[in-house]
Every structure is written in structure tokens, then in C-alpha cells.
Amino acid sequence: VKSEGPKLVPFFKATCVYFVLWLPTSSPSWFSALIKCLPIFCLWVFLLAHGINFLVSHRSASRILAGLIFSAVGDAFLIWQEQGYFIHGLLMFAITHILYSSAFGMKPLDLKAGLLMGLVSGSCYAFLYSYLSGPFTYLVAVYIALIGFMGWRAVAGMQLCNDLWTWTKLCACIGAMLFMVSDLTIALNKFCFPVPYSRFIIMATYYAAQMLIALSAVETRDEEDFRKRS
């Protein structure tokens, strides 16, 4: 907390700015896009503050940074979703989930967690299916599969039963779950029925998810510092 907390101060300030201004979504503009993306820009800076050499030498951290970049582009597209850019935002976040999954890795496999995440994802799609039409029938299915896979890889890394978990792996796990809550709220609100306080729920869980996933990237640095001290 002492080492990473100060680097996150700009993120918390930018998040407060977003919620304080609470710019109306009915009149999208480049300024509202900037305010929405600003916390994610701060997370770029958070990772870059650990050094370019760190990002270059640790693929998981560089992939999370790449995921944050695609997330910011997706956020900008979603500002203009009513003007036909929702699918563009969906594509950007699909790439984000692929990058995050790659960052979390395939070890340990943990098929039980995969089966559980598959059941959760399948149940969500089964509920949404009757509300979907046209290309969204297939696009939402692919997107749910990708975010479900990302959630599986984050949960699998925990290894609670083997007592091998770390605080950064816990951040990745909670972050992935919050990302799923945020996206599910978007889907329910857009395709099914109005969700009370949907925008607040979506953005609060989204920003928290991105912060936690960004924090999970510093694990390899912690391990290096520990080895040096030893």
C-alpha cells in the first residue's frame, strides 16, 4: 500500500472528477469522452511509473497496459453509442479481455473454476438471448465467452486451496468479477430493462475493476524486490 498507493492518487482524483461533473450522456462530446477516459489514462501512468524496462521485460504487465489502452478507446466509442458506435466499443473491450486473459496466463488450469465460470456465462447469455436480435445475438455470445474466459483465468490464479495466493492475484480476481458485473449491467440496461442507477453501478464497478487489474500487474516487481532483499 505504501509503495503503490501514492501512484494511484491521480486515478482517484480523476475518478472523483468524473462522478462530480457527471456530464449528461444525452449530449456526447470530446470533453465528456476525455473526462470518462481520464481515470484510465491515469492507470496508464500508474503502470508506466514502474519503468519502461519493467513493462518490456514482463509481458503480463505490458499486456495489461495494452488492455487499458484498448479500454480507453472503447470508452470513447461508447460515448457515442447512440450514434451507432456501440459495436465498435464492444470490439475494443473484446480485445481488452483477450489481452487480460493472456496476461493472467493458463497456469494453473483449474478446470473446476473454468466449469463454474462457463455455467455463469452460459446462464447470463441464456437470460439475455430472448432480448437479443440481429448481429447482437452472436456478438454478445462471443463477448460473454471472452469475458467469461478472462474471469476464469483470473479466478484460477488465486489457488486458495493451495495457499499460494498473493494480494495481486486477489486484485486480478476481484477486478475480473467487477468487470463482469459492470458489463452485465450494461447488457441488462441496453437490451432487457432499465436498471435503477445503472450508470453509477456500471462506472463504479468498471473503474474499480480496471484499478485492481492494473494493480495485479505489479506482482512480478514485488517478487523481484523480495528476491533482492533475500
Specify the pTM: 0.93
Q: Range with the lowest mean pLDDT among 32-46, 55-69, 90-104, 148-162?
A: 148-162
Position 220 pLDDT exceeds 70: no
CA–CA separation, 163 and 180 (whole Å): 25
- Tens-digit pLDDT profile for residues 152-196: 999 998 876 665 678 899 999 999 999 999 999 999 999 999 999
Contact 88, 80 (CB under 8 A): no
Task: Output the pLDDT for position 162.
Answer: 63
| Residue 112 CB burial class (10 angstroms; 0-12, 13-18, ≥19) | exposed
pLDDT one-digit tens code per residue, 111-122: 999 999 999 999
Number of domains, the chain: 1
Considering the chain, what percentage of its residues have pLDDT values greater than 90?
A: 84
CB neighbour burial string for 24-41, b if at least 16 within 10 angstroms, e if fewer: eeeebeeebbebbbbbbb
Are the C-beta atoms of residues 208 and 221 closer than 8 Å to each other?
A: no
Residue 178 near residue 213 (C-beta atoms within 8 A): no
C-beta of residue 168 within 8 angstroms of C-beta of residue 104: no
Of 100, 40, 33, which is closest to residue 71 (Cα–Cα)?
A: 40
Distance CA 66, CA 70 (A): 6
Residue 223 is part of which domain span?
4-228
Is the confidence at residue 51, as pLDDT, over 60? Answer: yes
Cα-based angle 25, 27, 28 (whole degrees, multiple of 5): 75
Average pLDDT of the residues in 213-223: 75
Q: Is 168 exposed, middle or buried (0-12, 13-18, 19+ CB in 10 A)?
A: buried
Fill in the DSSP letter of residue 195.
Answer: P
Average pLDDT over residues 210-221: 85
Residues 28, 34 contacting (CB under 8 angstroms): no
